Structure 1
């Protein structure tokens, strides 16, 4: 595998998701408000990103380029906001394992649909029996996690 480092990076990134759930859930407990906790999470992220942009000095898009971009480019921020608010509320109630499992299966369902239809200009990869079985096994895993 020539891109082993990308596979490793994706794995490590995924391993951080349960930590994010724990830490954001704790922050929600401290602030006693999902919106306040989410705002703190985003302000922290914005500060880190501002430093990274200042240090790396990437070329920035012009206002014209941003205005002419497809409207969907702005949805990532909305989705991230909903995600953070949801994990602040849900994780303390369902637990880290079940919440993470449900998030992963939700991601997989959407990813398989996007692949199958080639949505938003992505390459099309049909939903075959192998992919459907993989999804079914993950759902079975959630049932097992919830039961025990």
Structure 2
């Protein structure tokens, strides 16, 4: 049996977690070029990582308003703080199919998104990562309750 260094095992586990977590993870540089595209994003968007990495977010999803999105990234880069996009503000950032069409009557996945700074050892923020949460169940319950009023 081959013994691997602990650091290699931890790195392998980290990559496995990023690829298999039930959360979309996308890393963007300051030019909005995709650096990381995890398995959740591949599964829900239908876009393979090799087709996303190195491309502009706006080339992959031309429906995203560039000026609006760049304003959302500004506090992340300028202040090093998180920024948020909730499904109530905009139902989705990435047009992804609803993967539970039988139990949930929605044509797309509602999303809550957090824009997180990624700091260099110097403290400089050169990239950010988006965490994309499927909020479809929550959105449908709330919209159904509102329609009953």
TM beyond 0.5: no
Structure with the largest fraction of helix: 1
Question: Rg larger in 1 or in 2?
Answer: 1
Higher strand share: 2
State the TM-score, normalizing by the size of structure 1.
0.23
Q: Which has the higher contact order (CA 8 A, sep 6+)?
A: 1
